[in-house]
DNA sequence: CCTACCGATCGGTAGG
DNA sequence: CCTACCGATCGGTAGG
């Protein structure tokens, strides 16, 4: 008799290590420049052994990208459900993005940079996720402008500015200066919502 | 007797075609995922023939990245020389970035995404260029804050927000909606400088 | 500018 | 989880 429960548990845990190391390497070198042999070395096994835990190199990227997408979608669901005003909603979304960029940097970086190498149908699905997310954010801003809560600004441009500004935390990650994560967050919120508020 | 003048002219022009096609392909697929055989096909020759015009795949990436870096540095030189106030200087820099993102999108995209694959010493040189550029921008903002022209904001965070927000034009390039380039530019400036102005 | 070809490395499999 | 190995593809060179 085998012991399926324990075997499963072991596999999951090793798979988690592989995904984590892959996130690190993909972030450092990029998806294509990271070979399964590099990854195997980082994990501490031979390349062939990785395939006992994962299906393919592509499947690792798929898992990283969609885990990230799911986290952002869940947060947006919650924000949408609330009855706060538009500026508060946007601020909540921004704070979530900023914290994800700080706490789960490797995964986020990979999802932002290497989604292009997803295989179909994952690629299309991922892009649909993203387009949908941007539309929902734009709708929040549009409602705020209509209610005269926000400065009159083109909602899609505002979304583009907000989402990419937050990605700029990559600069901060590269050389974490004297600024703390909290200080970074407050200054970003100040700058970005300052451009949305009515003067 | 050979005719060196004409021969040189021919080589330069073919090299320009190679660089242009490479920018396009690197943008679409990424540097590593673009093979010299793909590039040769796009140019209309066999892969081996490319090497009559360029030294290596790496040298193409080098040329793209440094051509971009030089353009931004030249503009910043000009802005610094002027005696305008801080907000005007920042606005001029932003408008230049926005127009570069629109007019020379392929090159800029490659410089932003694939600089990581530059070979040393190019990689270090490129990163120094960038760090220097960010410092000079931060100095402009810092001076504006001190002179009480700008809202009190951490200058390095402001630079990070501004430079990455502008990169968000990638979203716009992916699905150029109903918004014109001019409308995009004015809305971005409104949003980003709105967060810098004193209320 | 081409044909022919090089050594290196890739993702992945067979079999134990 | 390993050894041994596969076909495919890579950047680049020799020689004409």
Neighbours of A55 (CB within 10 A): 10
B179 touches strand D (CB under 7 A): no
Per-residue pLDDT, averaged over A144-156, amounts to: 95
SS3 call for B197:
strand
CB contact under 8 A, A179 and B156: yes
The Å distance, CA of B37 to C1' of D14, is 19
Q: Which nucleotide is nearest to B51 (CA to C1')?
A: D12
pLDDT of residue A3: 40
Query: Which tens digit of pLDDT belongs to each residue from A156-180?
Result: 999 999 999 999 999 999 877 679 9
B163, B175, B188 member nearest A157 (Cβ): B188
* CA distance linking residue A116 with residue A118, whole number of Å: 6
- Cβ contact B197:B150 at 8 Å: yes
pLDDT at A93 exceeding the cut of 90:
yes
Query: Which tens digit of pLDDT belongs to each residue from B122-164?
Result: 999 999 999 999 999 999 999 999 999 999 999 999 999 999 9
pLDDT at B45 exceeding the cut of 90:
yes
pLDDT at A7 exceeding the cut of 60:
no
pLDDT at B167 exceeding the cut of 50:
yes
The Å distance, CA of A140 to C1' of C6, is 60
CB contact under 8 A, A157 and B199: no
B163, B170, B190 member nearest A168 (Cβ): B163
* CA distance linking residue A128 with residue B175, whole number of Å: 13
CB contact under 8 A, B161 and A33: no
Q: What is the mean pLDDT of chain A?
A: 93
Q: How far is CA B31 from CA A126, B39, B92, B125, B193, in A?
A: 22, 11, 31, 19, 34
- Cβ contact A68:A108 at 8 Å: yes
Alpha helices in chain B (DSSP H): 4-29, 36-43, 57-81, 86-103, 105-114, 122-146, 155-167, 169-174, 181-194
Classify residue B180 by its DSSP letter. Answer: -
A33, A165, A184 member nearest B164 (Cβ): A165
pLDDT at A1 exceeding the cut of 70:
no
A46 touches strand D (CB under 7 A): yes
Per-residue pLDDT, averaged over A57-72, amounts to: 98
The distance of A5 to chain B (nearest Cα, Å) reads 41
The distance of A183 to chain B (nearest Cα, Å) reads 9
SS3 call for B191:
helix
Sign of CA dihedral B177, A169, B160, B190: positive
Per-residue pLDDT, averaged over A96-118, amounts to: 98
Residues of B in contact with A144 (CB under 8 A): none
| SS3 track for B47-83 | HHHHHHCCCCHHHHHHHHHHHHHHHHHHHHHHHHHCC
* CA distance linking residue A125 with residue A66, whole number of Å: 9
Query: Which tens digit of pLDDT belongs to each residue from B67-117?
Result: 999 999 999 999 999 999 999 999 999 999 999 999 999 999 999 999 999
* CA distance linking residue B114 with residue B62, whole number of Å: 10
Between chain A and chain B, the number of residue pairs with CB atoms below 8 A apart is: 131
pLDDT at B178 exceeding the cut of 90:
no
Nucleotides of D under 7 A from a protein CB: 1-4, 9-15
């Amino acid at each position: 008799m085998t012991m399926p429960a324990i075997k499963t548990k072991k596999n999951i845990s090793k798979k988690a290590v592989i995904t984590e190391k892959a996130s690190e390497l993909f972030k450092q070198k990029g998806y294509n420049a990271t070979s399964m042999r590099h990854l195997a070395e980082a994990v501490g096994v031979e390349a062939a052994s990785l395939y006992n835990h994962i299906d393919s190199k592509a499947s690792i990227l798929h898992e990283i990208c969609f885990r990230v997408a799911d986290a952002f979608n869940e947060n947006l669901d919650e924000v949408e459900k609330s009855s706060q005003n538009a500026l508060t909603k946007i601020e909540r979304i921004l704070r979530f993005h900023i914290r994800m960029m700080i706490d789960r940097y490797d995964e986020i970086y990979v999802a932002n940079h290497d989604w292009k190498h997803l295989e179909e149908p994952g690629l299309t699905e991922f892009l649909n996720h993203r387009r949908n997310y941007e539309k929902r954010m734009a709708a929040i801003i549009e409602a705020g402008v209509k209610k005269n809560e926000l400065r009159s600004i083109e909602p899609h441009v505002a979304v583009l500015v907000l989402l990419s500004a937050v990605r700029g935390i990559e600069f901060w990650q590269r050389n974490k200066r004297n600024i703390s994560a909290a200080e970074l967050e407050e200054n970003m919120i100040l700058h970005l919502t300052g451009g949305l508020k009515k003067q």
